[in-house]
Amino acid sequence: MTKIGLIGFGTVGQSVTRILTDGSHSDVELASICNRNVEKKRVDWVPDDVIWTSDFEDVLKSDVEIIIELIGGTEPATHLIRQALELGKSVVTANKQVVAQSGSSLIETAHSNDCRLLFEAAVGGGIPVIRGVQEGLSGDVLTRIHGLLNGTCNYILTRMESAQITFEQALEEAQQLGFAEADPTADIDGGDAQAKIAILSAIGLGCPVRLDSIPTTTIRGIDPIDFVYADRLHSTVRQVSRVERLDVAKKTVSASVQLMLVPNASPLARAEGSQNLVVVDGVRSGETAFSGFGAGGDPTAVAVVSDLIAISRGNSSVVNWPTQTPDGSAQIDFDLAHYIRFVVIDRPGIISELAQVFATHDINIDSLLQEPGWSKRELPFVITLERCNTSAVRNALSEIRRFDFHARDLFWMPILTREKT
């Protein structure tokens, strides 16, 4: 029987404990639980023979063979994981930030000490996307991975659309239901999804990138009117994380986490609430989708326990983290169509002024949308642009922002297309 040590007894840690102590997994034994405040966290449903401690050194020095790290944050989690691996103890973690920032060196440490580091729960919660791309699609050359990697953002956006409420109202609702943290910054500003797409780039495309080189945009700027215009364009709005291979030999990719206009025909448009969805494109296998609950105690715990069961039974594959290129940066420019929403103090000539700037940057306007009935002092309208490089759009909008007709700052997002960029 394989002895397990659990470090971290929060929402996921408690769900893991319930799974390990319900009698359904007789080949593993929860031997110890480490938490900073034992007296506050101790519960009577944990078996009496499980040792409680507030010092993770007690777990490291014990005879447990696998350690589950669920404390979150980069430190002391990274140090703890490295210590465990150096002692020859395998580690299972759900810590996306640690894996994204230190995955390469930690996996090398695991290899050197004949043990394993698995982290299925770090991306997509209970969705087996890491195992899917690493094992299920290992016979193919993967070219692009994109999807919805943050359940909080997806819940907020789908509620704004279905209930016609503001971003602030949807966020408050998500917090009340436990889908959003008290401080939701990492979710709504893209940091959470940024770490996840960095991991998928390394594991799925074989192209590790520096975390800080992946651009992210917040979802705070979205307005209910954007869903009205999106509907007229037979689309919706989602926070999309994407990475695409540019050069196999040079291990270069383009990557981003941003709001995008998503056509209703896309699988991403049909994912609602806190659901996560990852779509993987392969040269031979085509499009493969992984879908499910990407957050919450129970789904994440299932991924954690699945990893440790694989290790205990000797079924876990060796995770390989490719060597990073000297630069290790993701390229940030895509050739895509674009959606731009303006809110202006109306006067004659606004459209011609905008058209002139876009023409100067060799950008073609595709469509102009304006809903009737709005005040002339705060008039929203949308311009969509034909496919062009994001840097050209960025430069054009920098000029446009200096015009005096803006009632509110403009809102800009790319339009997701099936064509390769």
Active centre residues (catalytic): 196
CA distance 369 to 228: 10
Q: For residues 94 and 72, what is the distance between their CA atoms, to the nearest angstrom?
A: 8
Longest Cα–Cα distance in the chain: 78
CA distance 165 to 2: 50
DSSP assignment of 81-141: HHHHHHTT-EEEE--HHHHHHHHHHHHHHHHHTT--EE-GGGTTTT--HHHIIIIITTTS-
Structure tokens at 138: 């290992």
- Nearest-angstrom CA–CA distance, 191 and 182: 16
CB atoms under 10 Å from CB of 148, counted, come to 28
Cα torsion 354, 357, 362, 363: sign: negative
**Which tokens is 235 given?**
């689309």
3-state helix, strand, coil in the chain (%, to 5): 35, 25, 35
2-7 and 66-69 strand pairing = parallel
Q: How many CB atoms lie within 10 A of CB 335?
A: 15
DSSP 319: P
The CA distance from 271 to 158, in Å, is 9
The residue written with tokens 């109202």 in the block is: 169
Is beta strand 252-263 parallel, antiparallel or unpaired with respect to 379-389?
unpaired
With tokens 């011609």, the residue in question is 352
Nearest in space to 413 (alpha carbons), one of 303, 353, 336, 331: 336
Please tell me the distance from the alpha carbon of residue 235 to that of residue 156, in angstroms, as a whole number: 17
Report d(CA 95, CA 365) in Å as an integer: 43
Containing 372, the helix (H) or strand (E) segment is none
Closest CA to 154 of 230, 281, 241, 280: 241
